[in-house]
Structure 1
Amino acid sequence: DRFWSTSELPESLDGKTRTSPWFGTPTVPCMTSISPSNRGTYAPASDGLHFSLLLPEGMAQAPQIQFTLNGIDRTSGLEWSHEGQTMEASYKGLEANRVYDAVVEFPGNTPGSRTDWTFDTFEQSHLTSGESFVIEAEDYNFDGGQYINNPDPSGIKESGQAVNSANGYLDQEGIPEVDFFDYETNPGPEELAALRAFDPVRTQAGSSESGSDEQFSGPDPAVNDVTRAVYAAVDLPEYQVTDTEGGEWLNYTRDFPEGEYHVYLRAAGRATQEIHLDEVTSDPSQFDQTTRRLGTFDLPNMGVKFNYRFVALKDDQKANVRLTLDGVKTLRLTIGDEREDRLNDTTALNYLLFTPAIEDQAIEPALTVLASSTLDGVYEPAGDAVVEADQIMIPVSSDMQFFKINVPTAQALTFVLQGISVQDGHLIIQYTQ
């Protein structure tokens, strides 16, 4: 089979028309746009989430749809508009400084009727606020367990000028099997020793598929992650740890503020990869250190080694880890467990993000009323309907109207329609549940 991947919509879909044959199946709408985009970062929460569906010809409205965020059903929070064969959905309940995994699917339909994507709503000011904090992947220990607690962004400008070398990790030299473990024993070429020039750990401004000497001018140039403001302010790129192999590790000692944190790894990769986070439980300045497993980042295959995203630290049950930190601790990132050809040199590590542990709260599903001008037409939320504990009030209109009452699943067996009447210009629907 041959596939074509593009960030732009085909003209036939973007123009809200379609060609023959149909993109998809005759019973499943086609997702034509999503916002924020997949792997979108720093998306303003106030902009909300939006997606568009193109309905097959002859389909008046989408079949049953389910929309979840971080595993919680948010379908009732969608607002819909409809024009021709296109349906637009909006969700206004995003919160700032969160990572979201979104799913839109049509339960009971054929394979291909599900769309998954991930994005975040972090504000860059939040990352440096002290409430959350970042550890750069390239800022691992040096000189046998030494560390800089609040390092400045450091590196080399394109002009060759060193930046913040006095309070940064630029050219700090680590001790193998104490500060890091790497199968390489010699420093890499210049483009793969961009920040830690004396260590065999490969540090690069961006990432590329080949990691070749020609990557900056040849057919495979380095592609960087979104440059954060703290780096742009000093005219530096983002740096990554790259050319990793299974079993390699890096130690990070910091004086952590007291709190419970969710931990995210900002990384890119073209193979599924487990990356473990451990606590070093022995002296981080000595050889033969002991560790305790804290969780695992399950890095998915993102197609190429420069598609970056946040990956949450999970426990063995695949739940987000609530990591309690307080005081000086040494954490360790370990690349998988063993060297495998399919995994070697497939991953680029940008940074670890520690953010206050906040659990998503499920919203109690509410009874909703939908209206249409025809029996088999498109039913949209009845904005003038007032839903009370035992009745629904809808203003009477001179136009013909049809109504549907969506009852939450938890109340479906106990919901009973008690009566319908017209009083004082309102349709009154009485019920118990």
Structure 2
Amino acid sequence: MPIEIKMPALSPTMEEGKLAKWLVKEGDTVSSGDIMAEIETDKATMEFEAVDEGVIGKISVAEGTEGVKVGTVIAVLVEEGEDASAIDAPKAAAPKAAAKEEAPKTEAPKAESKPAPAAAPKAAASGDRVVATPLAKRIADAKGVDLSGVTGSGPNGRIVKADVEAAQGGSAKKAAPAPAASAPAAAPVAAASSVEMADETRALLDARVPHSVEKLSGMRKTIARRLAQSKQEAPHIYLSVDVQLDKLLELRSQINATLEKQGVKVSVNDMLVKALGMALVAVPECNVTFAGNELIKYERADISVAVSIPGGLITPIVTAANEKSFSAIAKATKDLASRAKEGKLKPEEYQGGTASISNMGMMGIKSFSAVINPPQSTILAIGAGDKRPWVMPDGSLGVATVMSATGSFDHRAVDGADGARLMAAFREFVENPLSMIA
């Protein structure tokens, strides 16, 4: 009996997604656990696994289709030997792909309904489509490996990381892979002309200037929507302090010397995450969410750390940052940042958090004001530490390493006086770092 495969909800807030790529075709046999497709959510591209066994009788949504609602039938699975013509898949399965999917209603899949998954180990054997994991593709691109000549050792001949690493670098022919798949990347002008522009885009475009037009990714759309929502709905109040870093830098050097044999290195940002976490617990009035008729107060500090990734920004969460050691935070942030850049974070690892920290000091920015990450009420913006004239505790004038930190607060939930107390507590922890490990 045919089984409908529906667009999954890959995160608690996902309402729709982009069916980025099919890794199977009509007539392929799949088993539970086989990777069937790559689905792009607002923050990552995630793999979609089969939960049943059978043969792909019909693909109802073409790859590349955007705005596919959760619950939409994207494919139909039939039992081996079952007649594909018995499938009664909904015709309005997906908005943009319906017209493309009317034509392939033939008996062709039936003729090749019995190939074994390993019958086509070469990547090029699956139509003209390279079947490889996202990580394998990134590594291949970096090494200059032509995936069409790589033998896959994964399920259904899929190319995995080990296959690419074992391949000979420099063999890619980037100008001449499958024309249909690579033409947009090879010719930006052609790609721009193929984009179906909205009327608003045409009205803004100055055709006299050389240009290209590209569709917004799901991530960029989400960033635009959430930040516009934040500035429109949350009245921001900004509070800045200058913080002396010398004692923190000295303690960091001692900690890293102790941890060197373990291969762990604590960054200044790791220590600032801890300081913010402890400050939020010390001033719980800032560790809140405004909920309209209620105020949600949190008893621990889960800090969202802003990480720049290709195409946007993501905020993986260091849970219970107020309770973790510097080394534990260093390990967590390194792991989270690495997997964020590979698009491998789980939704619960970047959705939520009670407050955020954004450090642009490493890029040389002296100070800035960050936009609150809703539904949080607090975000701390960290500038670069540099040598400045400074009045020492004994009243003498000296030189100190100083950074500027600016807190952005949702004034509906956080009063200015409470925000000032948080900034003072943060500065106290940073300038007296031993208090964070006492």
TM-score range, shorter chain: under 0.3
- Normalising by structure 2, we get a TM-score of 0.24
More helix by share: 2
